[in-house]
Chains A and B, each alone.
Chain A
Amino acid sequence: MIKAENLTKQFDNIMALDHVSAEIKDGNVFGLIGTNGAGKSTFLRLLSGILKPDEGTVTIDGESVFENENVKKRFFYISDDQYYFNNATPQDMMEFYSKVYPEFDRKRFESLIGNFGLEMRRKVHTFSKGMKKQLSVACGISANTDYLFCDETFDGLDPVMRQAVKSIFANDMAERNLTPIIASHNLRELEDICDHVGLLHRGGILLSKDLDDLKLNIHKVQCVLKDGMTEADLVSLDRIKTETRGKLYTMTVRGTREEVVGMIESFQPVFYEIIPLSLEEIFISETEVAGYDIKKLIF
Protein backbone atom coordinates (compact mmCIF):
# COMPACT_ATOMS: atom_id res chain seq x y z
CA MET A 1 0.00 0.00 0.00
CA ILE A 2 1.20 3.47 -0.83
CA LYS A 3 0.46 6.13 1.69
CA ALA A 4 0.93 9.83 1.19
CA GLU A 5 0.49 12.00 4.22
CA ASN A 6 0.28 15.75 4.27
CA LEU A 7 2.36 16.10 1.14
CA THR A 8 3.35 19.65 0.44
CA LYS A 9 5.57 20.91 -2.32
CA GLN A 10 6.31 24.45 -3.27
CA PHE A 11 8.28 25.70 -6.26
CA ASP A 12 9.39 29.25 -5.43
CA ASN A 13 6.10 30.95 -4.79
CA ILE A 14 3.97 28.36 -6.57
CA MET A 15 2.17 26.00 -4.24
CA ALA A 16 2.09 22.80 -6.34
CA LEU A 17 0.70 20.54 -3.64
CA ASP A 18 -0.89 21.68 -0.44
CA HIS A 19 -1.15 19.07 2.33
CA VAL A 20 -2.37 16.20 0.19
CA SER A 21 -3.08 12.84 1.78
CA ALA A 22 -4.05 9.71 -0.12
CA GLU A 23 -3.98 5.97 0.23
CA ILE A 24 -3.48 3.65 -2.70
CA LYS A 25 -4.53 0.06 -2.12
CA ASP A 26 -2.71 -2.85 -3.75
CA GLY A 27 -4.40 -4.51 -6.70
CA ASN A 28 -6.59 -1.52 -7.47
CA VAL A 29 -6.40 0.95 -10.29
CA PHE A 30 -6.02 4.41 -8.84
CA GLY A 31 -7.03 7.23 -11.15
CA LEU A 32 -5.62 10.65 -10.53
CA ILE A 33 -7.66 13.36 -12.15
CA GLY A 34 -7.30 17.07 -12.29
CA THR A 35 -7.08 20.16 -14.39
CA ASN A 36 -3.86 21.12 -16.07
CA GLY A 37 -1.46 22.32 -13.44
CA ALA A 38 -3.46 20.80 -10.60
CA GLY A 39 -0.39 18.98 -9.33
CA LYS A 40 -0.86 15.50 -10.82
CA SER A 41 2.66 15.18 -12.13
CA THR A 42 4.16 16.71 -9.01
CA PHE A 43 2.23 14.20 -6.94
CA LEU A 44 3.58 11.31 -9.02
CA ARG A 45 7.11 12.69 -8.83
CA LEU A 46 6.83 12.85 -5.07
CA LEU A 47 5.45 9.31 -4.95
CA SER A 48 8.38 8.07 -6.97
CA GLY A 49 10.89 9.93 -4.82
CA ILE A 50 12.22 12.15 -7.59
CA LEU A 51 11.25 15.24 -5.66
CA LYS A 52 11.72 15.71 -1.96
CA PRO A 53 8.56 16.84 -0.21
CA ASP A 54 8.76 20.13 1.70
CA GLU A 55 6.46 18.61 4.25
CA GLY A 56 4.80 15.26 4.74
CA THR A 57 5.81 11.71 3.86
CA VAL A 58 5.37 9.08 1.18
CA THR A 59 5.66 5.47 2.27
CA ILE A 60 5.26 2.15 0.50
CA ASP A 61 4.29 -0.53 3.00
CA GLY A 62 5.65 1.65 5.74
CA GLU A 63 9.02 2.43 4.16
CA SER A 64 9.91 5.91 3.06
CA VAL A 65 10.49 6.32 -0.67
CA PHE A 66 12.89 9.20 -0.94
CA GLU A 67 16.51 8.07 -1.54
CA ASN A 68 15.57 4.50 -0.77
CA GLU A 69 16.75 2.16 -3.51
CA ASN A 70 15.05 -0.96 -2.21
CA VAL A 71 11.66 0.67 -2.26
CA LYS A 72 12.30 2.27 -5.61
CA LYS A 73 12.76 -1.16 -7.14
CA ARG A 74 9.10 -1.81 -6.43
CA PHE A 75 7.70 0.72 -8.87
CA PHE A 76 8.23 1.98 -12.37
CA TYR A 77 7.46 5.55 -13.27
CA ILE A 78 6.34 6.22 -16.83
CA SER A 79 6.77 9.95 -16.95
CA ASP A 80 4.81 12.14 -19.30
CA ASP A 81 8.07 12.91 -21.06
CA GLN A 82 10.01 9.66 -20.84
CA TYR A 83 13.76 10.06 -20.98
CA TYR A 84 15.81 7.97 -23.38
CA PHE A 85 19.56 8.15 -23.70
CA ASN A 86 21.00 9.85 -26.74
CA ASN A 87 21.18 7.47 -29.67
CA ALA A 88 19.64 4.69 -27.59
CA THR A 89 17.68 1.83 -29.10
CA PRO A 90 15.00 -0.28 -27.34
CA GLN A 91 17.75 -2.89 -26.94
CA ASP A 92 19.91 -0.38 -25.01
CA MET A 93 16.98 0.65 -22.82
CA MET A 94 16.34 -2.99 -21.99
CA GLU A 95 19.99 -3.44 -20.97
CA PHE A 96 19.77 -0.35 -18.80
CA TYR A 97 16.51 -1.20 -17.09
CA SER A 98 17.49 -4.81 -16.45
CA LYS A 99 20.36 -3.46 -14.35
CA VAL A 100 18.03 -1.24 -12.35
CA TYR A 101 15.19 -3.72 -11.98
CA PRO A 102 16.37 -7.20 -10.98
CA GLU A 103 13.03 -8.71 -12.02
CA PHE A 104 13.13 -7.23 -15.53
CA ASP A 105 11.61 -9.72 -17.95
CA ARG A 106 13.64 -9.56 -21.17
CA LYS A 107 11.53 -12.11 -23.02
CA ARG A 108 8.37 -10.17 -22.22
CA PHE A 109 10.01 -6.95 -23.38
CA GLU A 110 11.11 -8.46 -26.68
CA SER A 111 7.70 -9.94 -27.34
CA LEU A 112 5.93 -6.67 -26.44
CA ILE A 113 8.21 -4.68 -28.73
CA GLY A 114 7.51 -7.23 -31.47
CA ASN A 115 3.74 -7.12 -30.89
CA PHE A 116 3.74 -3.34 -30.91
CA GLY A 117 5.51 -3.47 -34.26
CA LEU A 118 8.64 -1.68 -33.03
CA GLU A 119 12.20 -2.68 -33.79
CA MET A 120 14.74 -3.55 -31.11
CA ARG A 121 17.62 -1.91 -32.93
CA ARG A 122 16.07 1.24 -34.32
CA LYS A 123 17.11 4.51 -32.67
CA VAL A 124 14.52 5.83 -30.28
CA HIS A 125 14.89 9.42 -31.51
CA THR A 126 13.51 8.33 -34.89
CA PHE A 127 10.32 7.07 -33.18
CA SER A 128 7.09 9.04 -33.28
CA LYS A 129 5.52 10.35 -30.07
CA GLY A 130 3.12 7.41 -29.94
CA MET A 131 5.87 4.88 -30.56
CA LYS A 132 7.92 6.36 -27.72
CA LYS A 133 4.89 5.96 -25.46
CA GLN A 134 4.56 2.35 -26.55
CA LEU A 135 8.20 1.77 -25.74
CA SER A 136 7.80 3.29 -22.29
CA VAL A 137 4.79 1.06 -21.62
CA ALA A 138 6.81 -1.97 -22.71
CA CYS A 139 9.63 -0.94 -20.33
CA GLY A 140 7.21 -0.35 -17.47
CA ILE A 141 5.37 -3.64 -17.86
CA SER A 142 8.50 -5.72 -18.33
CA ALA A 143 10.10 -4.22 -15.23
CA ASN A 144 7.77 -6.52 -13.27
CA THR A 145 7.26 -4.03 -10.47
CA ASP A 146 4.40 -4.00 -7.96
CA TYR A 147 3.36 -0.49 -8.89
CA LEU A 148 3.25 1.31 -12.19
CA PHE A 149 2.94 5.08 -12.20
CA CYS A 150 1.54 6.35 -15.48
CA ASP A 151 1.55 10.03 -16.22
CA GLU A 152 -0.77 10.72 -19.18
CA THR A 153 0.34 7.41 -20.64
CA PHE A 154 -2.69 6.92 -22.85
CA ASP A 155 -2.12 10.28 -24.42
CA GLY A 156 -0.69 9.86 -27.89
CA LEU A 157 -1.66 6.20 -28.20
CA ASP A 158 -4.11 5.27 -30.93
CA PRO A 159 -7.45 3.65 -29.96
CA VAL A 160 -6.31 0.12 -30.78
CA MET A 161 -3.15 0.57 -28.76
CA ARG A 162 -5.12 2.00 -25.83
CA GLN A 163 -7.29 -1.10 -25.71
CA ALA A 164 -4.19 -3.27 -25.98
CA VAL A 165 -2.45 -1.46 -23.12
CA LYS A 166 -5.57 -1.73 -20.96
CA SER A 167 -5.70 -5.47 -21.71
CA ILE A 168 -2.08 -5.83 -20.69
CA PHE A 169 -2.76 -3.98 -17.44
CA ALA A 170 -5.80 -6.17 -16.78
CA ASN A 171 -3.80 -9.31 -17.38
CA ASP A 172 -0.94 -8.26 -15.10
CA MET A 173 -3.31 -7.14 -12.38
CA ALA A 174 -4.95 -10.55 -12.34
CA GLU A 175 -1.71 -12.45 -12.75
CA ARG A 176 0.70 -10.69 -10.43
CA ASN A 177 -1.39 -8.12 -8.59
CA LEU A 178 0.03 -5.10 -10.40
CA THR A 179 -1.21 -1.77 -9.10
CA PRO A 180 -1.42 0.91 -11.78
CA ILE A 181 -1.68 4.53 -10.75
CA ILE A 182 -2.89 6.53 -13.71
CA ALA A 183 -2.87 10.28 -13.93
CA SER A 184 -4.97 11.75 -16.66
CA HIS A 185 -7.16 14.67 -17.54
CA ASN A 186 -9.29 12.45 -19.70
CA LEU A 187 -12.15 11.36 -17.47
CA ARG A 188 -13.74 9.22 -20.14
CA GLU A 189 -10.61 7.12 -20.33
CA LEU A 190 -10.38 6.48 -16.63
CA GLU A 191 -14.04 5.63 -16.29
CA ASP A 192 -13.58 2.13 -17.71
CA ILE A 193 -10.58 1.04 -15.73
CA CYS A 194 -10.36 2.75 -12.36
CA ASP A 195 -11.49 1.33 -9.04
CA HIS A 196 -10.72 4.42 -7.14
CA VAL A 197 -10.39 8.02 -8.18
CA GLY A 198 -8.72 10.99 -6.58
CA LEU A 199 -9.50 14.45 -7.83
CA LEU A 200 -6.77 17.03 -7.52
CA HIS A 201 -7.55 20.65 -7.91
CA ARG A 202 -5.16 23.52 -7.30
CA GLY A 203 -2.83 21.40 -5.24
CA GLY A 204 -5.44 19.82 -2.99
CA ILE A 205 -7.40 16.55 -3.11
CA LEU A 206 -11.08 17.34 -3.50
CA LEU A 207 -12.26 13.80 -3.11
CA SER A 208 -10.97 10.27 -3.15
CA LYS A 209 -13.60 7.57 -3.55
CA ASP A 210 -14.42 4.23 -5.10
CA LEU A 211 -15.76 4.86 -8.56
CA ASP A 212 -18.78 2.56 -8.24
CA ASP A 213 -19.78 4.16 -4.94
CA LEU A 214 -19.54 7.53 -6.59
CA LYS A 215 -21.67 6.43 -9.49
CA LEU A 216 -24.33 4.60 -7.52
CA ASN A 217 -24.83 7.42 -5.07
CA ILE A 218 -25.61 10.27 -7.36
CA HIS A 219 -28.35 10.54 -9.97
CA LYS A 220 -29.85 12.95 -12.35
CA VAL A 221 -33.63 13.25 -12.12
CA GLN A 222 -36.01 14.86 -14.53
CA CYS A 223 -39.60 15.23 -13.47
CA VAL A 224 -42.82 17.11 -14.03
CA LEU A 225 -44.61 17.65 -10.73
CA LYS A 226 -48.35 17.40 -10.47
CA ASP A 227 -50.34 20.62 -10.26
CA GLY A 228 -50.04 22.51 -7.05
CA MET A 229 -46.60 21.18 -6.10
CA THR A 230 -43.53 23.39 -6.20
CA GLU A 231 -39.85 23.05 -5.57
CA ALA A 232 -40.47 23.71 -1.89
CA ASP A 233 -42.22 20.34 -1.62
CA LEU A 234 -39.04 18.52 -2.61
CA VAL A 235 -37.16 19.13 0.65
CA SER A 236 -36.75 15.43 1.43
CA LEU A 237 -34.43 15.02 -1.57
CA ASP A 238 -30.72 15.63 -1.03
CA ARG A 239 -30.37 17.91 -4.00
CA ILE A 240 -27.04 19.28 -5.19
CA LYS A 241 -28.42 21.26 -8.03
CA THR A 242 -31.85 22.12 -9.39
CA GLU A 243 -32.78 23.63 -12.71
CA THR A 244 -36.29 24.57 -13.67
CA ARG A 245 -37.61 25.02 -17.14
CA GLY A 246 -41.30 25.71 -17.02
CA LYS A 247 -42.81 22.71 -15.30
CA LEU A 248 -39.81 20.50 -15.89
CA TYR A 249 -37.37 20.05 -13.04
CA THR A 250 -33.87 18.76 -13.69
CA MET A 251 -32.06 17.88 -10.48
CA THR A 252 -28.83 16.27 -9.38
CA VAL A 253 -29.63 14.20 -6.32
CA ARG A 254 -27.52 12.21 -3.87
CA GLY A 255 -28.70 8.77 -2.87
CA THR A 256 -29.02 5.27 -4.29
CA ARG A 257 -31.41 4.62 -7.13
CA GLU A 258 -33.92 2.89 -4.84
CA GLU A 259 -33.93 5.77 -2.37
CA VAL A 260 -34.38 8.36 -5.07
CA VAL A 261 -37.11 6.39 -6.87
CA GLY A 262 -38.94 5.90 -3.59
CA MET A 263 -38.93 9.56 -2.77
CA ILE A 264 -39.84 10.74 -6.24
CA GLU A 265 -42.73 8.29 -6.43
CA SER A 266 -44.09 9.56 -3.14
CA PHE A 267 -44.58 12.93 -4.86
CA GLN A 268 -46.69 11.19 -7.54
CA PRO A 269 -45.21 13.23 -10.36
CA VAL A 270 -46.82 13.39 -13.81
CA PHE A 271 -43.63 12.00 -15.24
CA TYR A 272 -40.12 11.22 -14.05
CA GLU A 273 -36.88 9.79 -15.28
CA ILE A 274 -33.71 8.84 -13.43
CA ILE A 275 -30.29 8.40 -14.98
CA PRO A 276 -26.90 7.76 -13.40
CA LEU A 277 -24.24 10.39 -14.00
CA SER A 278 -21.11 9.94 -16.04
CA LEU A 279 -17.80 10.51 -14.28
CA GLU A 280 -17.50 13.84 -16.01
CA GLU A 281 -20.88 15.00 -14.72
CA ILE A 282 -20.12 13.76 -11.22
CA PHE A 283 -17.01 15.86 -11.07
CA ILE A 284 -18.74 18.90 -12.41
CA SER A 285 -21.38 18.69 -9.72
CA GLU A 286 -18.96 17.74 -6.95
CA THR A 287 -16.62 20.59 -7.70
CA GLU A 288 -19.48 22.99 -7.99
CA VAL A 289 -20.51 22.09 -4.48
CA ALA A 290 -16.93 22.71 -3.36
CA GLY A 291 -17.23 26.17 -4.83
CA TYR A 292 -14.73 25.70 -7.63
CA ASP A 293 -14.98 27.23 -11.02
CA ILE A 294 -16.56 24.39 -12.95
CA LYS A 295 -15.70 25.83 -16.32
CA LYS A 296 -12.11 24.91 -15.63
CA LEU A 297 -13.05 21.25 -15.43
CA ILE A 298 -14.95 20.97 -18.67
CA PHE A 299 -12.81 20.44 -21.69
Chain B
Amino acid sequence: MILLDYKDRRPIYEQIVEKLKDLMICGVLEQDSQLPSVRSLATDLSINPNTIQRAYMELERRGFIYSVKGRGSFVADTSTIRALKTSELKNKLGDWVEEAKRAGIKEDKAHSWLAEEWIYEENGSGGGVKE
Protein backbone atom coordinates (compact mmCIF):
# COMPACT_ATOMS: atom_id res chain seq x y z
CA MET B 1 0.00 0.00 0.00
CA ILE B 2 2.86 2.34 0.79
CA LEU B 3 6.20 2.38 -0.94
CA LEU B 4 9.03 4.00 0.93
CA ASP B 5 11.91 5.74 -0.74
CA TYR B 6 14.97 5.03 1.34
CA LYS B 7 16.96 7.61 -0.57
CA ASP B 8 14.52 10.28 0.55
CA ARG B 9 16.22 12.28 3.27
CA ARG B 10 13.07 13.22 5.11
CA PRO B 11 12.23 11.23 8.23
CA ILE B 12 10.31 8.09 7.35
CA TYR B 13 7.25 9.08 9.36
CA GLU B 14 6.87 12.21 7.22
CA GLN B 15 6.90 10.07 4.10
CA ILE B 16 4.20 7.86 5.57
CA VAL B 17 2.07 10.89 6.45
CA GLU B 18 2.37 12.19 2.88
CA LYS B 19 1.58 8.83 1.28
CA LEU B 20 -1.46 8.24 3.46
CA LYS B 21 -2.69 11.76 2.75
CA ASP B 22 -2.44 11.10 -0.99
CA LEU B 23 -4.36 7.86 -0.60
CA MET B 24 -7.13 9.71 1.25
CA ILE B 25 -7.28 12.48 -1.34
CA CYS B 26 -7.54 10.16 -4.30
CA GLY B 27 -10.18 8.11 -2.52
CA VAL B 28 -8.35 4.83 -2.04
CA LEU B 29 -8.89 5.30 1.68
CA GLU B 30 -12.51 6.34 2.05
CA GLN B 31 -14.05 8.24 4.88
CA ASP B 32 -14.58 6.10 8.00
CA SER B 33 -12.63 3.19 6.53
CA GLN B 34 -10.08 1.60 8.79
CA LEU B 35 -6.37 2.19 8.39
CA PRO B 36 -4.05 -0.80 8.64
CA SER B 37 -2.96 -1.54 12.19
CA VAL B 38 0.37 -0.21 13.37
CA ARG B 39 1.68 -3.71 13.70
CA SER B 40 0.69 -4.94 10.25
CA LEU B 41 2.02 -1.83 8.53
CA ALA B 42 5.29 -2.00 10.48
CA THR B 43 5.72 -5.65 9.59
CA ASP B 44 4.89 -5.05 5.92
CA LEU B 45 7.33 -2.19 5.59
CA SER B 46 9.96 -3.72 7.91
CA ILE B 47 10.18 -0.56 9.93
CA ASN B 48 9.86 0.45 13.53
CA PRO B 49 6.25 0.41 14.80
CA ASN B 50 6.97 3.62 16.72
CA THR B 51 7.54 5.34 13.37
CA ILE B 52 4.09 4.31 12.18
CA GLN B 53 2.61 5.35 15.51
CA ARG B 54 4.21 8.75 15.13
CA ALA B 55 2.81 9.14 11.60
CA TYR B 56 -0.68 8.21 12.83
CA MET B 57 -0.38 10.68 15.69
CA GLU B 58 0.57 13.40 13.25
CA LEU B 59 -2.39 12.60 11.00
CA GLU B 60 -4.69 12.61 13.99
CA ARG B 61 -3.30 15.93 15.21
CA ARG B 62 -4.08 17.46 11.84
CA GLY B 63 -7.57 16.01 11.97
CA PHE B 64 -7.23 13.66 9.00
CA ILE B 65 -7.87 10.50 10.96
CA TYR B 66 -9.46 9.57 14.27
CA SER B 67 -8.83 6.65 16.55
CA VAL B 68 -11.28 4.50 18.42
CA LYS B 69 -9.91 2.94 21.56
CA GLY B 70 -9.31 -0.74 21.11
CA ARG B 71 -10.37 -0.74 17.48
CA GLY B 72 -7.78 1.23 15.57
CA SER B 73 -7.56 4.30 13.39
CA PHE B 74 -10.10 5.47 10.85
CA VAL B 75 -10.20 8.04 8.07
CA ALA B 76 -11.88 11.25 9.23
CA ASP B 77 -14.05 13.57 7.19
CA THR B 78 -11.99 14.00 4.04
CA SER B 79 -13.30 17.50 3.32
CA THR B 80 -10.57 19.13 5.47
CA ILE B 81 -7.83 17.30 3.65
CA ARG B 82 -9.39 18.11 0.29
CA ALA B 83 -9.69 21.78 1.17
CA LEU B 84 -6.03 21.76 2.12
CA LYS B 85 -5.11 20.12 -1.14
CA THR B 86 -7.13 22.67 -3.09
CA SER B 87 -5.32 25.60 -1.52
CA GLU B 88 -2.00 23.82 -2.01
CA LEU B 89 -2.78 23.41 -5.72
CA LYS B 90 -3.83 27.02 -6.02
CA ASN B 91 -0.54 28.14 -4.49
CA LYS B 92 1.35 25.94 -6.90
CA LEU B 93 -0.44 27.57 -9.81
CA GLY B 94 0.40 30.96 -8.35
CA ASP B 95 4.08 30.05 -8.33
CA TRP B 96 3.81 28.76 -11.85
CA VAL B 97 2.13 31.90 -13.14
CA GLU B 98 4.82 34.01 -11.54
CA GLU B 99 7.52 31.94 -13.23
CA ALA B 100 5.68 32.01 -16.57
CA LYS B 101 5.32 35.78 -16.42
CA ARG B 102 9.03 36.13 -15.78
CA ALA B 103 9.69 33.92 -18.79
CA GLY B 104 7.47 36.18 -20.89
CA ILE B 105 4.55 33.80 -21.42
CA LYS B 106 1.36 35.61 -22.45
CA GLU B 107 -1.90 35.09 -20.62
CA ASP B 108 -3.83 33.68 -23.59
CA LYS B 109 -0.97 31.22 -24.23
CA ALA B 110 -1.23 29.98 -20.66
CA HIS B 111 -4.98 29.63 -20.99
CA SER B 112 -4.71 27.56 -24.13
CA TRP B 113 -2.09 25.34 -22.47
CA LEU B 114 -4.35 24.74 -19.53
CA ALA B 115 -7.25 23.86 -21.82
CA GLU B 116 -5.05 21.48 -23.83
CA GLU B 117 -3.77 19.73 -20.70
CA TRP B 118 -7.29 19.46 -19.37
CA ILE B 119 -8.57 17.76 -22.50
CA TYR B 120 -5.56 15.50 -22.61
CA GLU B 121 -6.04 14.34 -19.00
CA GLU B 122 -9.75 13.76 -19.54
CA ASN B 123 -9.26 11.72 -22.67
CA GLY B 124 -7.44 9.00 -20.83
CA SER B 125 -3.91 9.94 -20.01
CA GLY B 126 -3.99 6.55 -18.30
CA GLY B 127 -3.00 4.70 -21.45
CA GLY B 128 -0.43 6.50 -23.47
CA VAL B 129 2.72 8.30 -22.61
CA LYS B 130 2.74 11.92 -23.59
CA GLU B 131 5.31 12.91 -26.17
Contacts and interface: CB of A to CB of B under 8 A. Distances in A.
A285 B93 CA distance: 38
B114 to A, nearest CB: 28
A194 B39 contact: no
Given A175-B39, A192-B6, A170 B11 contact: no
Interface string B7-44: 00111110000000000000000000000011100111
Interface in B64-84: none
A232 interface: no
B43 A171 contact: yes
Contacts of B12: 192
Contacts, number: 58
A242 to B, nearest CB: 20
A170 B13 contact: no
Given A192-B6, A276-B9, A276-B10, A167 B46 contact: yes
Interface stretch (B47-55, B101-109, B118-126): B47-55
B46 to A, nearest CB: 4
Contact of A174 (B9, B13, B49, B54): B49
B39 A195 contact: no
Interface residues of B, number: 20
A175 B46 CA distance: 14
B6 A170 contact: no
Given A212-B13, A216-B11, A278-B9, A174 B46 contact: no
Query: Which of A28, A164, A173, A275 neighbours the largest number of chain B CB atoms within 10 Å of its CB?
Result: A173
A163 interface: yes
Contacts of A278: 9
A277 B11 CA distance: 10
Contacts of B47: 166, 170, 192-193
A192 B50 CA distance: 11
A239 interface: no
A29 interface: yes
Contact of B48 (A175, A194, A215): A194
Given A193-B48, A195-B48, A170 B9 contact: no
Interface in A260-279: 275-278
B42 A275 contact: no
A156 interface: no
A255 interface: no
A275 B50 CA distance: 24
A195 B50 CA distance: 8
Given A29-B48, A173-B42, A212 B11 contact: yes
A29 B39 CA distance: 15
A275 to B, nearest CB: 6
Given A212-B11, A215-B11, A278-B9, A170 B42 contact: yes
Given A277-B9, A278-B9, A167 B48 contact: no
Contacts of B48: 29, 170, 173, 192-195
A277 B10 CA distance: 8
Given A28-B50, A166-B46, A192-B47, A171 B11 contact: no
A170 B49 contact: yes
Given A215-B11, A276-B9, A277-B9, A27 B50 contact: yes
Contacts of B13: 212
Return the 3 tightest CB-CB contacts between A and B, nearest first: A174-B39, A170-B42, A166-B46
15 contacts: A29-B50, A170-B39, A170-B42, A170-B43, A171-B39, A192-B48, A193-B47, A194-B48, A195-B48, A212-B11, A212-B13, A212-B54, A216-B11, A276-B10, A276-B11
Interface of B: 6, 9-13, 37-39, 42-51, 54
Given A28-B50, A212-B13, A278-B9, 13 more contacts: A27-B50, A29-B48, A166-B47, A167-B43, A170-B39, A170-B45, A171-B42, A174-B49, A175-B39, A192-B46, A192-B47, A193-B47, A193-B48
